[in-house]
Structure 1
Amino acid sequence: MRHDSEDLPWRTKLAYLATNAVARGCIGAALALPYTWRVPFMGWILSRIVGPAAGFKKRAAEHIALVLPELPSTEHDRIARKSLDNAGRTLIENYSTGALLARQKGAEINGPGIEALEQAAQSGQPVILVTGHFGNYEALRATLVGRGYDVGGLYRDMSNPYFNAHYVRTMQAFGGPVFAQGRKGTAGFVRHLKAGGQLVLLFDQHVQRAPILDFLGHPARTAVSAAELALRYNARLIPFYGIRKPDGLGFDCVMEAPIVPSDPETMTQAMNDSIGARIRANPEQWLWVARRWRIDEYYPETAT
């Protein structure tokens, strides 16, 4: 949740200002480089310097060990490092709006979901595109924008208001309306949906008091709001992914078959299964640092 900078304790404000200054410095330095250099540079910064220093690499490796205990610890560390590399690349790609839009314009989209999207657009049926912090979903959104789609999104404000201010501008620059979570944002989101628009929702984060569903073989609280909205407004619910290619710069854009309408929890479990399969196929591309599983909630004997 974002806080008003005027209401922050001075120690917190100083910490947020310092964090934002470092982040802006790294982003600014990266943006001064040619695109094909800046993307791997930012991946290196996050995976080799910031991630280990901030404890992100250790936390990611612990989560990987929970899900993939059969792998050796060296492999857990490797996946954690590559995951942070992907996060760094994604961050600077999303700040390179014009370049990413240009690179993705005319890119191929595979999977049955693209046909379902086209049919829905022709008939005026709304579409909810669901994905997670995997690869870079903005790459596929940029591809759809290049095809003339006005794809909006709902986002969660970051706790650091100084960083949040300029990060939100990067999302808005891709085209299509973006709405902050909350009463006002949700109202605009719903209006866009009811008008037959297309909207993106990320569903792979822990949400307090949400139903407990299976995620990669472990219980995890998962918001069912995307499925509820799809049922309420007769929207197609389509999982989609921008999967990073081995060259680290390009993407395979995939839109899967729409989730079959049933009930919110069944539909959301199908979404979990969809992204879960993608993560197992390419574990280096998911944001393992996120606290997806609150381990002490489900496994109290592991709490410290």
Structure 2
Amino acid sequence: MGYYLMKLLSWLACRFSMKHCNRLGTFLGRLSWAVVPNKRKKMAVDNIIRCLAVDEPEARRIARASWVQFGPMLMEVLRYPELIKDGYIREYVTIEGLEYLQEAIKKKQGGIIATSHSDSWELMGAALAQYGVPLVGVARKQKDGAMDRFINEYRSLVGMHITYTSGVREMFRMIQEGWMIGLITDQDPSLRDGIILDFFNRKTNCFTGPATLARFQNAPIFHGQIMHRPDGGHHIKIYPPIYVEKTDNKKADIEQATQKVMDLLESHIREYPEDWFWLHDRWKSVRSIGLD
């Protein structure tokens, strides 16, 4: 039933303009802010104050804005069938640095696109695929089977190939075939799977997936972010490739490349603080071992 409800909502969203849907999404985002647990809000505000050195009212504004953007992002996903018509998505989303990906594609060289939960990250994957990037979206399997079916169907609709986080062998194979693997790199992994680095001058447990994949496959990492445009659309920035060294010290190689990715992410967040999802408990694992 949930799947067909989402399809109905998508059909309705496609009957209206993107402008009207974004207004509705913003309204829903603001409305739903009231039900976010106060504990989660306080955690986000405290982290914003600590990371950005702003006062509490500004931190509250940033935290609220980072939540509200979920509404428009949902509307954009629901409107995928319309966004891909007549190349409209290329007007709605512009890309800077696409040539870095195109150069690798011409060489039939696969790679990793490292991004974050910032602005409309779902739309970023859709836009890259519509611009001709052979993209593999790495997804976590949703607990709700209906939602999992819907979101992966719509990701495929816009041209992405979807694999789950457990499909590591498939990722290796597809890099060799020239695909770009899209990985979200900003959440708190388990201490077993992460590495402690500096992020906002704090000890932070960081996801090593991009650097590990890149080192094993001799593939480049492309850091990429999506951000809002003043006219209501979005802009993607792809950074020059990062290559992982392959010395006798595997851990140091991965640490060095991962720190470069985290430095780029920190710089982006400082410039666009409202876009990043601050309500994720980013420092939970290091707090559990007394490092934060």
> Which interval holds the TM-score relative to the shorter structure?
0.7 to 0.9
Contact 2:14-2:81 at 8 Å conserved across structures: no
Question: Could you tell me which residue of structure 2 aligns to residue 103 of structure 1?
Answer: 88
- Determine which of 3, 6, 17 is the counterpart of 1:34: 17
| 1:189 aligns to 2:180 (yes or no) | no
CA distance in 1, matches of 2:31, 2:107: 50
CA contact (8 A) 1:87 1:287 kept: no
Query: Hey, what's the Cα distance between the residues in 1 that align with 2:148 and 2:122?
Result: 17
Task: Give the letter for the 2:287 counterpart.
Answer: D
Structure 2: which amino acid aligns with 1:86?
A: Q
The one-letter amino acid of 2:117's match is H
Evaluate the alpha carbon distance shift between residue 231 and residue 296 of structure 1 in structure 2; reply closer, same or farther with a 3 A threshold.
closer
Q: Can you list the C-alpha shifts for 1:143-179, whole angstroms capped at 9, x where unaligned?
A: 3323322211111123444433322323222212110
Matching of residue 289 in structure 1 with residue 272 in structure 2: no
- Return the alpha-carbon distance in structure 2 between the equivalents of residues 241 and 95 of structure 1: 21
Unaligned runs of 5+ in 1: 1-16
For residues 114-263 of structure 1, what are the structure 2 equivalents within 5 Å? 114-182=98-166, 185-209=167-191, 210-247=194-231, 249-262=232-245, 263=253
Aligned to 2:207, the other structure's residue is in SS state coil
Kindly provide the amino acid, as one letter, of the partner of residue 64 in structure 2: R
Which secondary structure state, in structure 1, belongs to the residue aligned with residue 270 of structure 2?
helix
For 2:287 and 2:127, how far apart are their aligned partners in 1?
A: 40
**Residue of structure 1 equivalent to 2:248:** none
TM-score (norm 1): 0.80
Question: Who is 1:79 aligned against?
Answer: 62
Aligned-pair distance for 1:73? Answer: 1.2
Q: Deviations over 1:179-199 (max 9, x none)?
A: 0111xx222222211111112
- 1:266 aligned to 256, 272, 279, which one? 256
**Structure 2: unaligned runs, 5 residues or longer:** 246-252
CA distance in structure 2 between the aligned counterparts of 1:282 and 1:103, rounded to whole angstroms = 25
CA displacement at 1:132 relative to structure 2 = 0.5
Question: Are the equivalent residues in 2 in contact too, given 1:105–1:142 (CA < 8 A)?
Answer: no
What displacement does 1:34 show? 2.8
Whole-angstrom distance in 2 between the partners of 1:83 and 1:288: 7
Alignment partners' CA distance in 1, 2:41 and 2:6: 21
Q: Give the 3-state SS of the residue equivalent to 1:242 in structure 2.
A: strand
- Equivalent in 65, 72, 77 of residue 94 of structure 1: 77
Q: Secondary structure at the match of 2:69?
A: helix
- Stretches of 4+ aligned residues off by more than 6 angstroms: none
Deviation at 1:254, TM superposition (A): 0.9
One-letter amino acid of the counterpart of residue 85, structure 1: V
Give, as a single letter, the amino acid of the residue that structure 2 aligns with 1:216: F
The 1-side partners of 2:42 and 2:31 are apart by 13
- Separation in 2, partners of 1:120, 1:179: 21
- In the alignment of these two chains, the number of paired residues is 275
Secondary structure at 2:159 match in 1: coil
Give the alignment's Cα RMSD to 1 decimal. 2.7
Quickly say closer, same or farther: Cα 1:270–1:277, change in 2 above 3 A: same
TM-score, length basis structure 2? 0.83
Kept in 2: contact 1:136–1:241 (CA 8 A)? no
- Alpha-carbon distance in structure 2 between the residues aligned to 1:82 and 1:287: 9
Distance in 1 between the 2:71 and 2:239 partners?
26
SS in structure 2 of the partner of residue 61 of structure 1: helix
Change (3 A) 1:104 1:79: same
Deviation at 1:91, TM superposition (A): 2.4
